[in-house]
Structure 1
Amino acid sequence: MNGLNAAVLATIPSPDRGVWYLGPLPIRAYALCIIAGIIVAIWWGERRWVERGGIKGEVTDIAVWAVPFGLVGGRLYHVITDNQKYFGPGKNPLAALEIWNGGLGIWGAIALGAVGAWIGCRRKGIPLPAMADALAPGIVVAQAIGRLGNYFNQELYGGDTTLPWGLEIYRRVTPEGREDALAGVAIDHTPIQVVHPTFLYELLWNLGVALLIVWADRKFRLGHGRVFALYVAGYTAGRFWIELMRTDEATLVFGQRVNVFVSALVFFGAIAYFVVARSRGGREDVAAVRTAHPTDGEPVEPGETPSREAEAVEEDAEKDKKNSSESVKPE
């Protein structure tokens, strides 16, 4: 115990709770962090999309499809890979729906979120790889913000440590006296454990990945999905070693956490795509590769039905031409 008390002198305290109440309404830190991350990703993605030749507001239109798909995909992946938390003797299967208590698998979120983004891009006539490149830095920063939710939930940490940045874990209890790390409140600030803050390691790694891909994008004018591939490769490289440090319950494959293998597989897939896509050249001209779309939102091939923007430009040009010819008509 003396060693524990000495370590506490230079450690990171945890919040005493992760949920506050406004009357009967629970305000959950995890949910707020997820929402804040989504807002940042959309805002930054919008700016980058316009800089690359896109139209303002299109990222928000795509997010209407991508965000719900991503949330569902993230939850599905978590429930599938951590099914022992929800199914079996003494478990409550309905808890699998309680997304507000944490549990979003990034692999499922990206995979199904990409499906939603593809649907949105197809309806708008936007090339998905170009949109993915614009969104990539914002997505990884959103993941960093989301990790703060794990901090409030006292979850996703590693083994015991005496390092000065060790994280204090408190015993939390509900008003009924039941221990609950998510919904409870710390009865005092005496830590029951001091651990590696692996959520913090991942947060800092993600911010570093964001800086890397922004730098690489500006220097090499990456396109055709290569910025997104670099983000995936950078993120999975960090997730691999961070996953090895975590001690929370997880599904094991060959004695290792399943996400260790997933990280490695996705990393090599991202690197392969990054190399292969190099043959497509530098950054694409978004305006040039955009397919036109009629008023119902369904895309068509270039040269068929022009987009509303193109029709408006053509109409204005015809009016200007008509007015010009009338102004020079002899009396």
Structure 2
Amino acid sequence: MTLLPVGAAPALLTAIPSPEQSVWWLGPFPLRGYALSILVGIFAAMWITSLRMRARGGTGQEIYDIAVPTIVLGIVGGRIYHVVSSPWPYFGPEGNLADAVKIWEGGLGIWGAVALGAVGAWWGARRHGYSFLDIADALMPGLLVAQALGRWGNWFNNELYGGPSDAPWAVQIHEMSGGEAVRDAAGDAVVLGTFQPTFLYEALWCLLVAVAILLVDRRFRLARGQVVGLYLMGYTLGRFFIEIMRTDPAQMVLGQRINVWVSIAVFLLGAAIWWWRGRVGDLPARGAAERHTPATAA
């Protein structure tokens, strides 16, 4: 324990520190901070969804019954979107196509994960005779929590940050190679500088939207699918501005990062779903989740 001299004040935090290592080896097996963040997020989402399904009159088992196809297709979809939206590490002059399958090194696009994950959830729900929309609505807050936790994988990797910043909440970024910080001649980790922590902004925004959805869902009796619309609108509203702040390489379309345009498109899709499902007026049963046969599952 280090004692401060009499009258001395502790140094104030001038930046958020980042790990100097993102991979730890357990014998021949690597433990990656990125993968760990994703896994913790998945388990958190399943647990929250199970609680919400029970509160809605279900058994809570529904999310576990559809978990395998949802997770597997979600990861595949996320990787496909990442490779398509950031092609140069794989198809560029110095790219390596074999790296496209190395999911464990990071790189999952949320919209590919949501799109193909939804296909997996729909298939699983239909196979077990559940209402897809009931499960999807129950899942949305947990999905946002999973996204918030998953963003900490970017913190482990020292990636996805904004412009230079000297704010107390700026994040210190190391030059990384092979899962470890590059060292200088003195053996110290090379620091690239301090930057806007866009990964943290997105994580906090996801949690804020999750709380907002829970409050709205508790206060109002929403039609099936409207929570999905709220998720799409709420998440993309923040992602639009956070994406503009990011400085990592990205595919550009009409002078803007591709995910800026995708955020606008998905926001409009969410608004359309909210309006359409509200107009249909398909209200879930109170106190008992309706179980459908595979032939009639939504």
**TM-score normalised to the size of structure 2?**
0.90
- Equivalent position to 2:26, from 22, 41, 49: 22
The offset of 1:163, in angstroms, is 1.3
Q: Which runs of 5+ in 1 are unaligned?
A: 1-7, 173-179, 293-298, 303-331
SS at match of 2:24: strand
Q: Matched residue of 2:57: which SS? A: coil
Work out whether residues 52 and 60 of structure 2, in 8 Å CA contact, stay in contact via their aligned partners in 1.
no
Percent identity between matched residues is 50
Other-structure match for 1:255: 255
Q: Deviations over 1:129-185 (max 9, x none)?
A: 11110000000000000000000000110111121111111233xxxxxxx1x5123
* Contact 2:164–2:196 (CA under 8 A) maintained in structure 1: yes
Q: Write the distance in 2 (CA, Å) between the matches of 1:49 and 1:68.
A: 22
Tell me how far apart the structure 1 counterparts of residues 97 and 41 of structure 2 sit (CA, whole Å): 28
Q: 1:288 & 1:270 partners in 2: Cα distance?
A: 24
Aligned to 1:308: none
Per-residue deviation at 1:301? 5.3
Distance 1:53 1:272 in 2: 28
Map 1:1-331; keep pairs closer than 5 Å. Answer: 10-172=14-176, 180=177, 183-187=179-183, 188-189=188-189, 191-281=191-281, 283-285=283-285, 289-292=290-293, 299-300=294-295
Q: Is the 8 A contact 1:160 1:193 kept in 2?
A: yes
> Unaligned 5+ residue runs, structure 2?
1-11
* TM-aligned CA deviation for residue 216 of structure 1: 0.3
CA distance in 2, matches of 1:108, 1:209: 20
Distance 2:148 2:60 in 1: 25
User: Over residues 40-93 of structure 1, what are the superposed CA-to-partner deviations in whole Å (9 max), with x where a residue is unaligned?
Assistant: 000110110111122231110111211101000000000011111111322211
CA contact (8 A) 1:130 1:223 kept: no
Report SS of the residue matched to 1:21.
strand
Amino acid at match of 2:47: W
**Separation in 1 of the partners of 2:244 and 2:144?**
20
Deviation at 1:282, TM superposition (A): 6.6
Partner-residue secondary structure (3-state), 1:192 = strand
- Cα distance in 2 for residues equivalent to 1:264 and 1:225: 20
Q: AA paired with 1:285?
A: A
Aligned length: 281
User: 1:255 offset after TM fit, Å?
Assistant: 1.2
Does the CA contact (< 8 Å) of 1:140 and 1:206 recur in 2?
Answer: yes
Q: Which has the higher contact order (CA 8 A, sep 6+)?
A: 2
